[in-house]
Structure 1
Amino acid sequence: MAGQDNAMSFLRRILGLETRAGSLGELEALLREAHGTAAGIAVSADAALEYPAVLGAVRAISESVAMLPCHLYRRDGDDRRRADDHPLEPILSRLPCPWVTAYQFRADMTAALILDGQAFAHIARASDGRVLEVVPLPRKSVTVETDASTLEPRYRLSLSDGTQRHLDRTEVFHLRGLGIQPNTGLSLIHAGRHAIGLGIALERHASRIMARGARPSGVVTAPEGVKGDVLERLKLSLQRFHTGDNAGGTLLLEGKGASFTPLTFNAVDSQFQEMRTFQVAEVSRILRVPLSLLSEMSRVTHANAESLGRQFLSLTLLPYLRLWTETIYRDLLTEDEREDYYAEHTTGALEMADLGSRIDAYVKAIAGGLMTADEARGKENLPPEGGEAGRLRFPLNTGSEGQGDGD
């Protein structure tokens, strides 16, 4: 223990943190960022976002989760209704705090969850325990410890100005993903850093090639006896006028007998492109996002496109939605409220962009007695018609004896 303290003290001195109060959290965050890979590239959560496949996957998950409305419901016997009169409902569906919308809150928290394995927000409560607002906390500002006797989580907040304080468990909204340690989530980016690092290395290599003229377009063969100043002028001419932005210009060869042999696209070039495509598939495996959402369409057909969309909802989004609702249940509801209240997302919002499918679903739901015409009109922000439009309709062959359509 003494050796660890000395090492930490040394690191604090060389990093200039020894005079700043509460800066241990910054040091720990810095050490966590040392994610070396076999490709020789350090892949931190932030650096991984520079890789288009990772950025696309994080956006696909976090923005999809954020766009699905989340509401608070109350159980009433076998029935349920939306708890519009509960103070937590507007916090979940509109404004978690005065300067952050519900969409921004869920999108940012979900993105941090994917990148870091967990995300945190501070819960401000009234004296009676009622939640007043939920404020997202900066990434890497919260350190989670486990109490040795109770195994409960303990939270330490370290802000950039040196402020440090301990937070009670009731003050923290802790969105934690898959974890192999108690009370701590596993960063999927860190776990898959070698595959992501290779993808970044391939991207950088391709960029360097493009900066130098995309690729050697051919081979210049100089005649015998060309050397000295003539050879140097030939090299300089090729470098200045046929690389980078000047690539593709007219080639002028100096000296009798000089020739130019163009190079064609070869198997090595094809294999390099295949490796780049394969690394996109690796990101798809790590974050469980269909390749079609990462704009890799080589294996997408008309037959499987709809199936891939359903898989994204059932295998990718639903686990995140379940994590959100259970975290709301644990951290934002009191022990008494948990008996009657629960949060739920409306996944039908994923179909809002497809008018044909949406109208077809309404027609079937109305005809099958699942919803009324006025409920369908409400989902389209249309005023209710009243009368028969507000009554459930059942198929004749499913109604009870003496009950007709609309009765």
Structure 2
Amino acid sequence: MGMFSFLSRWMASSDDRSPWGDFWFEPVSVRTSSGMRVSADNALRLAAVYASVRILAETMASLPFVLYRRRADGGKDKVTDHWLYRLLAKRPNRYQNPYEWREMLQGHLALRGNAYNRIVANSRGEILELVPIHPDRIKMELTPAGDYRYRVTDRLGVETVAPRGEIWHLRGLSSDGLIGMSPIDLARESLGMALAAQDYGARFFANDAKPTGGWIEFPGSFKDSEAKKVFRESYQAAQSGANRGKVLVLENGMKFHEVGVTNKDAQFLELRKFQITDIARLFRVPPHMIADLERATFSNIEQQSLEFVMHTMTPWAERWEASIESELLFDGDDLEVEFDFSNLMRGDAASRSTYYQSGIQNGWLTRNEARIAENLNPLEGLDEPLRPLNMVEEGAAGDLEGDAVQTKPPAQEAAEPKDDEAAARVRALVATSAARLARRISRAGAIADNDIALIADALAVPVTRVAQWAQDSNVPMTECALNESLVSLGMTS
């Protein structure tokens, strides 16, 4: 037999337990050139298809839903007391939680290119529930007025008509703007080949990994057709069922000739490997995410994971966001919908630490914001952003100069109590100024021209000496080494 043999039509159980029917049941399939019937459901028999759909559905379901209201200054505030937030983040319907609901809808989109929900609203127009409808049980039809409506068939076979405003329709890639295209239908020939290869492999090993099919050479002849039929049936009985693989004894000069190609000649393993890559390509999923690590390395896995977020999940999330804002919100609502990708982009602990350190030191992230991002409670006094000393605005330069003035040694004070006390006070002030200056220079990584005048002013050292010190210093150096060098410079003046 050839590799691409006929497979009996496979159908899922129609035992519906949910109030709106069996979501994954699909009664119609199309026969492909390989002889296999391909539908959105039996394609899930392929492990690569199931893994790809699952990673898309679970990733979309795991993204936190955020609702924002824009402020006049361009910022935005999170909104948690709106009906849309309660609907999509807490309870989309009485039967499902948000994760299950979103996972199922994304599965419908990945397999069939469309996802549908019946809208249940109150008299004020606020949506109370979004009840999913299986894509195979709903059809869109155009009305004479140029609008469209939907015909919905329930699990009992009763058909109802729903106007456009009662159905929320999420579309995938569409050729007409009305109905999304099914990836399974578009790639049915490729998937049919994969199903045929899978079926062939199963039958091959069911036959004890021996090629099936052949013919028997008989130098004589049978006396009639009935004798030939009896021989054929006895031969098949001797080589099937519990007798499969037993030694065959032929008589009267008969010889058995095997028919077919070997798995090596048919490149069976190469075909199976290619099908995994082909299916991953169909769903735009990196192969390593469906456990194909043949060409994976540490560096390219990290890059492919980033590309999965950017080029696969971000377009899906934006498709959801645009549909929610245009179909579920009122025209006058100044709200924005967003799915938060920050958890997917978190990285490891070292990367997050570097990210937070950069944000806090450069003033665009507060310490409490970093704590909240790490699921830690905020602390009092950590809500203000830090201002780097080498990045102050021109108008704020006076603050820095004021610090320098305050750190001048009190050499000209009218009365000093004792020489030892005065020397100790000078040393303390020099140490304080040196520490502040060392921190500033260490962060900048170099001594700027305006730093020379500031150092001379803060340590009461001539500018020429500071310039010579800057020329002789091996910068960059550690903050501790800079501090010691500046203290030495200040105390020798």
Q: Which of the residues 391, 401, 404 maps onto 2:384?
A: 391
1:8-407 equivalence runs, <5 A: 30=27, 33-77=28-72, 78-150=74-146, 152-215=147-210, 268=264, 271-337=267-333, 340-351=334-345, 354-387=348-381, 389-401=382-394, 402=396
Query: For residues 238 and 40 of structure 1, what CA distance do their matches in structure 2 show?
Result: 25
Contact 1:367 1:395 in 2 (8 A): yes
The TM-score normalised by the length of structure 2 is 0.63
In 1: Cα distance, 2:351 partner to 2:85 partner: 29
Partner of 1:25: none
* In 2, Cα distance between equivalents of 1:118 and 1:324: 12
* Secondary structure at the counterpart of residue 198 of structure 1: helix
How much does 1:238 deviate?
Answer: 11
Tell me the amino acid that sits aligned with residue 41 of structure 2.
Answer: D
Whole-angstrom CA distance in 2 between matches of 1:124 and 1:291: 40
Aligned equivalents of 1:166, 1:253: Cα separation in 2: 66
Structure 2, unpaired ranges of 5+: 1-25, 212-233, 250-261, 401-438, 440-493
1:156: how far off?
1.7
Give the Cα–Cα distance (whole angstroms) in 2 for the partners of residues 345 and 399 of structure 1.
35
Contact 1:157 1:165 in 2 (8 A): yes
Q: Deviations over 1:340-363 (max 9, x none)?
A: 111001101214574444444333
Provide the rounded CA distance (Å) in 2 between the counterparts of 1:116 and 1:205. Answer: 27
Task: Report the alpha carbon displacement of residue 43 of structure 1 after superposing the two structures with TM.
Answer: 0.5
- What is the CA-CA distance between 1:213 and the residue it aligns to? 1.6
Q: Say if 2:68 and 2:76, in contact at 8 Å, map to a contact too.
A: yes
Q: In 2, distance between residues paired with 1:159 and 1:334?
A: 29
- How many Å separate the matches in 1 of 2:385 and 2:82? 28
When residues 155 and 237 of structure 1 are mapped into structure 2, their CA distance, relative to the original with a 3 A threshold, is: closer
CA distance in 2, matches of 1:269, 1:63: 39
Q: Is the 8 A contact 2:114 2:171 kept in 1?
A: yes
Give me the whole-angstrom Cα distance separating, in 2, the residues matched to 1:252 and 1:120: 59
User: Contact 1:351/1:357 (CA < 8 Å) preserved in 2?
Assistant: no
Asked whether the 8 Å contact 1:172–1:331 carries over to 2, the reply is no
- Tell me, in whole angstroms, the C-alpha distance in 2 between the residues paired with 1:91 and 1:270: 54
Return the TM-score normalized by structure 1.
0.75
Deviations 1:238-276 (A, max 9, x none): 985886xxxxxxx9999xxxxxxxxxxx88168210111
Residue identity opposite 1:377 in structure 2: R
Amino acid at match of 1:145: E
1:15-59 Cα shifts (integer Å, max 9, x gaps): xxxxxxxxxxxxxx75xx232211111110001111111111101
Alignment deviations for residues 127-184 of structure 1 (CA, whole Å, 9 cap, x no partner): 111122222223322211233543x331122101233222222222111011113411
Letter in 1 for 2:341: T
1:399, distance to aligned residue in structure 2 (A):
3.8
Q: Determine the C-alpha separation between the residues in 1 that align with 2:87 and 2:244.
A: 60
User: Given the superposition, is the C-alpha separation of residues 269 and 82 from structure 1 closer, same or farther in structure 2, using an over 3 Å criterion?
Assistant: farther
Task: From the superposition, tell whether residues 240 and 367 of structure 1 become closer, same or farther in structure 2 (CA, over 3 Å).
Answer: farther
Rg comparison, structure with higher value: 2
Determine which structure has greater relative contact order: mean sequence separation of CA pairs < 8 Å that are 6+ residues apart, divided by chain length.
1
Aligned to 2:48, what secondary structure does the other structure show?
A: helix
Report SS of the residue matched to 1:292. helix
Structure 1 spans left out of the alignment, 5+ residues = 1-28, 217-231, 244-250, 255-265
| Contact 1:117–1:187 (CA under 8 A) maintained in structure 2 | yes
After TM superposition, give the deviation of residue 83 of structure 1 in Å: 1.1
Aligned 8 A contact 1:146 1:183 in 2: no
- Superposition RMSD on alpha carbons, in Å? 3.1
Change (3 A) 1:396 1:110: farther
Distance 2:205 2:387 in 1: 65
Task: Give the C-alpha shift of residue 200 in structure 1.
Answer: 1.0
Distance in 2, matches of 1:292 and 1:325, equals 28
Q: Which amino acid aligns with 1:213?
A: D
* Residues 226-249 of structure 1, C-alpha deviations (whole Å, 9 max, x = no match): xxxxxx99x969985886xxxxxx
Q: In 2 relative to 1, CA 355–240 (structure 1 residues): closer, same or farther, beyond 3 Å?
A: farther
SS in structure 2 opposite 1:119?
strand
